[in-house]
Amino acid sequence: MIVQYVTQPDLQVGIILILLGSGLVSLLAGILILIGRGFSKEMRTLASTSTELSKRAIHHDMTALSESVSEILTQINQMMKTAAGTGAFLILTGVVLMAGAYWLTSGLI
């Protein structure tokens, strides 16, 4: 019964607000992921410790340990790339949603 009281402009404004809000949330989440994931304390600690272990393994001729440390560093790089890709995708999604809201708004005026 509430459907009888909702007009087309009211529905368009509601859709625009939902798109704008979703776009802002997506944009902010993407920015936070790009800033937070790549520079986290745990990542820096793990990378520095792995580098130190690698130096010691080469000095003491422990090839198995050296290979393991190399694999850890490869995985750290892959995790950073994944976080960067996720952040970029969220930012792009946010921009597209906000552009859609703007496009709908320009149709109302």
Domain-located, residue 23: no
Displacement of CA 62 from its chain's centroid (Å): 37
Distance CA 17, CA 6 (A): 15
Domain-located, residue 81: yes
Domain-located, residue 92: yes
CB atoms within 10 A of CB 94: 20
| Whether pLDDT at 55 is above 80 | no
Domain-located, residue 86: yes
Domain-located, residue 77: yes
Domain-located, residue 19: no
Total of domains in the chain? 1
**The predicted structure's pLDDT at residue 79:** 77
Token readout for 88 is: 């970029």
| Whether pLDDT at 60 is above 70 | no
